[in-house]
Structure formats: structure tokens, C-alpha cells
């Protein structure tokens, strides 16, 4: 409970800072936009990556989102939630990109994967296994329907609460719960063959 309140406080603080920066930008300070960009860059990039699973594409997407933000800044009211707006625009943009790129499958390099896992494996057989597993995971996440993927990505990678997800997606909390349930069920079905193998890999890595 204590942790949750601290997260909420942090979010509230961030929202307050966003509002201040937006008003400063509207007053004609271009530096305020730089500060906003620096504050939200990691979130936007992380979200883009979690949908696209491609570092370069995620960088491009983040750039696109901030360019859109610049032109949308004058329209922002004081009450509008900048984070929610950024997440929504980023998700829509990434899903668009994916739709355009359909058929071109990206496979992460081993280096990226090991960075992600934070563990190095010297055994070639385990490396091959883990490579197969991660491709299966990304395929499974990519193949989710857009709404389910949105809900899953926002919860799994961005640690957002159901209420925040609902706000970002523009639907009710109940709908978010349903999307999330369907997403996890789909993921389980797609990764069923890997659950045992993955545990072995993880055990090998931990040993």
C-alpha cells in the first residue's frame, strides 16, 4: 500500500510539472519543450519498444511522437493529461507502423537479448534455446489484437494501473480487465509449448 501511494505521488508530481512546462511553453519558452521531452523520452521509447520489439523502429517512433507533441502543444488544456496523451499517440503510431510492416519480421540480435536478460550464456545450446524462446515471445505479443496488446503492454511494461490504462485507451476499467484477461489467455495459448523449456533455460542460466 505504501509503495502504491508513493507511485501515485510521483505521478501527481509529474503531472504538475507537465502542466507547468506546458504553460511555460505556451508563454513562448521553447526550452520548456526540451525539458518535457527529456522527462518523457524514456517512457515513450520503452512503450514503442514493447510494441515494436525493435530498437531503431522504437527510436523513430519516439521521434515521431515528440514531433506530433510539438504541433499539438498549443491545443493542450491545463487539465489534459500529457502522459496519457503521449501513451495513446505512441501506441497508435506503433500499431500503425506494425500494420505497415506486416510480413517483415524483426529478429533481435543476441546482444540485445542478453542486454535485456541481463545475463550472459556461454553454452551455445542454451543460447539457441533462448533465442528461439524470445522470438516466440515477441511473436506471441505481436500477434495479439491491437486493443489487447495495448492493455497488456501498458500493464506489463509500463506498470500502469487499470484506471490509467482505461484513461489512456479511452474505455472503462471493466473493458481493460477483459482485454487484459483475453491477452493473458492468448499469450498462454501461444507460449504453451515453451513454458517447460523456458523454465529449464532459466534454471540453466541461474546455475
Partner 1 sequence: MKACKKINALIGAYIYGDLTLEEMKRVRLHAAECKKCAGEIAAQSRAVSLIPNEPPKLTDEERMQIAWTVKGAVKAKQQAGFRLSFVRVMTGTLVTAVLIGAAFVGGITYQKHYGPAKIKLVKQVIVKEVPAKPSENRPEQPLVTSVPYSMMDPFQRSQQPIYRWMPGGRTAQPESDTESSPAITWPWEQESGSTAPPLILTPTPSDTNTKPEQPTPSTNGNSGQTQ
Dihedral sign of CA atoms 138, 161, 23, 21 in order: negative
Dig out the grid coordinates for 103 from the structure: 510480413
Whether 106 and 53 have beta carbons less than 8 Å apart is answered as: yes
Q: What is the nearest approach in angstroms of partner 1 to the Cβ of residue 79?
A: 25
69 vs 84, beta carbon nearer partner 1: 69
Query: Footprint of partner 1 on this chain (CB under 8 A)?
Result: 34, 37-38, 41-42, 45-47, 49-50, 55, 59, 62-63, 66-67, 70-71, 112, 115-117, 133, 137, 141, 155-157, 161-162, 176-185, 187-188, 191-192, 194-195, 198-199
Taking only Cα atoms into account, the Rg of the chain, rounded to an integer number of angstroms, comes to 19
Smallest gap from residue 104 Cβ to partner 1 (A): 20
In whole angstroms, the minimum distance from the beta carbon of 80 to partner 1 comes to 20
Exposed, middle or buried by CB within 10 Å (0-12, 13-18, 19+), for 107? middle
Cα end-to-end distance, the chain, whole Å: 34
CB 165 within 8 A of CB 155: yes
Which of 20, 39 has the CB closer to partner 1?
39
- To partner 1, the closest distance from the beta carbon of 136 in angstroms equals 9
Residue whose CB is less far from partner 1, 79 or 111: 111
Amino acid at each position: 500500500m505504501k509503495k502504491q501511494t508513493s507511485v501515485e505521488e510521483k505521478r501527481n508530481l509529474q503531472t504538475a510539472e507537465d502542466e507547468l512546462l506546458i504553460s511555460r511553453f505556451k508563454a513562448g519558452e521553447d526550452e520548456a519543450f526540451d525539458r518535457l521531452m527529456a522527462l518523457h523520452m524514456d517512457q515513450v521509447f520503452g512503450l514503442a519498444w514493447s510494441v515494436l520489439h525493435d530498437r531503431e523502429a522504437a527510436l523513430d517512433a519516439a521521434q515521431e511522437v515528440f514531433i506530433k507533441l510539438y504541433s499539438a502543444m498549443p491545443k493542450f488544456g491545463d487539465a489534459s493529461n500529457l502522459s496519457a496523451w503521449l501513451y495513446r499517440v505512441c501506441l497508435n503510431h506503433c500499431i500503425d507502423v506494425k500494420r505497415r510492416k506486416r510480413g517483415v519480421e524483426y529478429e533481435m540480435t543476441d546482444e540485445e537479448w542478453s542486454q535485456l536478460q541481463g545475463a550472459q550464456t556461454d553454452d551455445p545450446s542454451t543460447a539457441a534455446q533462448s533465442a528461439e524462446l524470445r522470438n516466440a515471445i515477441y511473436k506471441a505479443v505481436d500477434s495479439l489484437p491491437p486493443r489487447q496488446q495495448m492493455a497488456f503492454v501498458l500493464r506489463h511494461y509500463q506498470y500502469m494501473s487499470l484506471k490509467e490504462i482505461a484513461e489512456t485507451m479511452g474505455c472503462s476499467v471493466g473493458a481493460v480487465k477483459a482485454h487484459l484477461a483475453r491477452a493473458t489467455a492468448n499469450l498462454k495459448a501461444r507460449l504453451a509449448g515453451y513454458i517447460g523449456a523456458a523454465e529449464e533455460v532459466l534454471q540453466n542460466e541461474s546455475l
